[in-house]
Structure 1
Amino acid sequence: MKRNSEQCLHLQGTIAKRRKVPKISLSDLPMDILSRILSLLPKIDAIRTSILSKKSKYIWCSHANLTFDERTMRKSYFRTINRYKLLRNEEFITRVDTVLRQHSGMGVECMQIKFRLHRNHADHIDKWVDFAVASKTKKLVVNLSGHDKFGFFLDLTSGRRIVRKEPYILPSQLFSPSNGSYLQCLKLTTVSVQLPYDFEGFLNLKSLTSVDLSITDEDVQRMLSKCNLLEFLEISFCRTVTSIRVLHPLDRLMHLVVDICPVLQGIELNCSPITLKYSGCMVPLMFSSTCRLTDISIVLLTYQSALSYIVTGFPSTLPKLRTLSLFSSERERTIVPEGPFKFTFLRNLRLELVLSSHEIQKTDALDYAYLLKIAPFMETLELHMWMDCQHQPYRKEDGDLRAALPHQHAHLKFVRISGFFGHKVQVELALHILQSSILLEKMEINPKLEISNELGPLDSDYEEERYLDGHRIATEFVCKADHRNVVHVVPS
């Protein structure tokens, strides 16, 4: 009985202690934690917190990350009877002006403006850029396109006439030595740049992205030659750039992206990047040195044999290349000359191949067996094919399967083949890789298309019949030759 009384008293004491625990409200948090929380909120929500307490009334005014787009400005979409209507330009401008008027202008690390605007809105945008300059922001993003990069790809490939507004011209004060000295990252989309005559560069700029930029070749050269700390450079969908040529050394440039500049004729840079992503027509790519270039992704928009480009094109000069991704379309077979050339350092290869032969078979996938010979230390191989030709799954009546010259590859461990419709040339190539790779651990064969580039077809463009044929042929001919149980055919 006594024991029960002691337990009851102990329980009452515990409850009393719990009741005395004070409640913690948002205003009780330290100022640095409050500022951090508000920096993660959309601007409109951050402003609304000012009514919670006297302490939080002005905290949002030192919001370090200012992103102005349709999402963060709230009510950017409101429902009508049968569709969603976009936020109007006037509404967006008013809300941005309201936020910046109340902001302290101190401690801004990043400022982003992402909305469909143009030269007619210059008075407002000039003030926003002035605010970014005055606040000494380190990252400035001005995207006045209203869509992402894929939208530019659709514009260029659609063939339709697109009416474009005159782009907004960035104010010259952004390019003054004192104002631009704080910038470390600059991203410009659908704007116009006209450098002042006394431009001295961005002294601390490490990352520069230019998308749909209206700029002359001379200003491109001047801008890059004055950015000695630049580590990342992207020039994409710039319709006025014909040449990217900078003889001034860019010793710190490590990553270069050039994406579909329609009138580009060549690239010549005095640097040695580590990674390169290029898409467009085949143009001269010249660097002062390629000793550091280890990772390349190339999308060729002209008809070109991928194998021929690998052996005789730009990558053939890169003995230390480790990872190569290449998209190309082939209409005719190219005989690649035999020689001592080898990719000694190549470890990973991804090819996206469009093999087009609508009437007479003019391409031959078995030619790619040559890859095992020129890349003796390759460990992973991905062959993503699109057989853009008459569907002809292999039958024994089509004749015996050919065999490429025997070659023992001692390092290949993983292979993935997609778009395997069961054509004879696909069976021959798969069998050659299987039988030549003595350390192969896994070969995946997927009848469905896996070309990731926008130029590839949609998976829905093909009938289920092709996928079923591919699965049947892979199972009947490739799996039958697999004596190590390494082949896996993805169900269709």
Structure 2
Amino acid sequence: MHSRGAVCDARANLPSSLPNLETLSVYSYCEAVSTPMVGSKFPFLKHLTVKLAAAAAAAAAPDYDYCSLISFFDASPSLETFFLNAFLGSMHHPSILGDPSGRRQMPEHRYDKLKNVTIVGFSSAKTLVELTCHILDSSKSLEFLTLDATQGYDYLRCSVNRSGKCFPVSRDVILEGRRGLLAIKKYIKGNVPPKVKFTIVEPCSQCHVVEL
């Protein structure tokens, strides 16, 4: 599914039209409205991918709540894998760093089958950090958690690029990736259970070096 507002539309409309869906990939190039909390279910959904295009992230309203994606988890009792690409667009959202209110405590849920979660374009966006913490609190079956504070394209990294250099990105993107790492260390790393294989992908320490 690929369209403007695709995430919101998928949650609101697909359960009734495709009730037996097992795999769902949603690509949105403009997602300004938070995902609705509705009662409909994806009873058989096992694999969910949500990608927000770079343009969508830049155009998204700063008050877009990544925690609204919890609506998909609540609707999908069979969900096993979740992949989110925020394309570092969440640098337009309020940062949790320096926020005196700290993170919100979400109502307790149980995602009994969720095993593998990957978030690419991880940043210090408050609601993105809160979503990650909620997943950790609610997913006792979790086996793998990957938080990637880059744009997620391995073939653009110096280790595999013929030029020997990473693909250039803006200073703002590098800075937000670094802030994302600080948020991981402060709010997430200490809450990851020992049994979970936790992977952090950092910006290149040779090609993408800037001062915070």
Report deviation, 1:332.
2.3
- Shift in CA distance, 421/334, structure 1 to aligned 2, threshold 3 Å: closer
- The correspondence of residues 412-423 of structure 1 with structure 2, limited to 5 A, is 412-423=114-125
> In structure 2, how many angstroms separate the alpha carbons of the residues matched to 1:344 and 1:299?
22
DSSP 3-state at the match of 2:136: helix
TM-score in terms of structure 2 length: 0.76
Cα deviation for residue 384 of structure 1 reads 0.8
CA distance in 2, matches of 1:362, 1:491: 26
* SS in structure 1 of the partner of residue 146 of structure 2: strand
Amino acid at match of 1:469: R
Number of residues paired by the alignment? 186
- CA deviation digits over 1:254-290, x for unaligned, max 9? xxxxxxxxxxxxxxxxxxxxxxxxxxxxxxxxxxxxx
Q: Indicate if the aligned counterparts of 1:299 and 1:327 stay in contact, CA closer than 8 A.
A: yes
Call closer, same or farther: CA 1:426–1:459 in 2, change over 3 Å.
farther
| Alignment correspondent of 1:324 | 24
Tell me the CA shift for residue 407 of structure 1: 0.6
Q: CA deviation at 1:337?
A: 4.4
Alignment pair present for 1:304 and 2:10: no
CA distance in 1 between partners of 2:33 and 2:70 (Å)? 14
- Alignment partners' CA distance in 2, 1:358 and 1:344: 32
Which residues of 2 match residues 160-179 of structure 1 at below 5 A?
Answer: none
Larger radius of gyration: 1
Q: What is the RMSD of the two structures over their aligned residues, measured on CA atoms?
A: 2.7
Q: 1:475 aligns with which of 185, 197, 201?
A: 185
Superposition TM-score, scaled by structure 1 size: 0.35
Does the CA contact (< 8 Å) of 1:305 and 1:334 recur in 2? Answer: no
Distance in 1, matches of 2:195 and 2:202, equals 17
Gap runs ≥5 in structure 1: 1-297, 453-457
Matched, 1:385 2:86: yes
- Residue by residue, what CA displacement relative to the aligned partner does 1:119-159 show, whole Å, maximum 9, x if unpaired? xxxxxxxxxxxxxxxxxxxxxxxxxxxxxxxxxxxxxxxxx
Mapping for residues 88-127 of structure 1, pairs under 5 Å: none
What pairs up with 1:272-291 in 2 under 5 angstroms?
A: none
CA distance in structure 1 between the partners assigned to 2:64 and 2:97 by the alignment:
19
Q: How many Å separate the matches in 1 of 2:120 and 2:111?
A: 21
1:330/1:363 contact within 8 Å kept? no
Distance change in 2, residues 1:314/1:376 (3 Å): closer
Mapped partners of 2:86, 2:100: distance in 1:
21
- The equivalent of 1:351 in structure 2 is 50
Q: Could you tell me how far apart the structure 1 residues matched to 2:63 and 2:201 are?
A: 29
Query: Hey, what's the Cα distance between the residues in 2 that align with 1:451 and 1:316?
Result: 35
Distance 1:396 1:485 in 2: 30
Report the alpha carbon displacement of residue 324 of structure 1 after superposing the two structures with TM: 1.0
- Unpaired runs of at least 5, structure 2: 155-165, 204-212
Amino acid at match of 2:202: P
Q: Paired residue for 1:447?
A: 149
- Would you identify which runs of 4 or more consecutive aligned residues in structure 1 move more than 6 Å? none
Counterpart of 2:139 in structure 1: which amino acid?
A: S
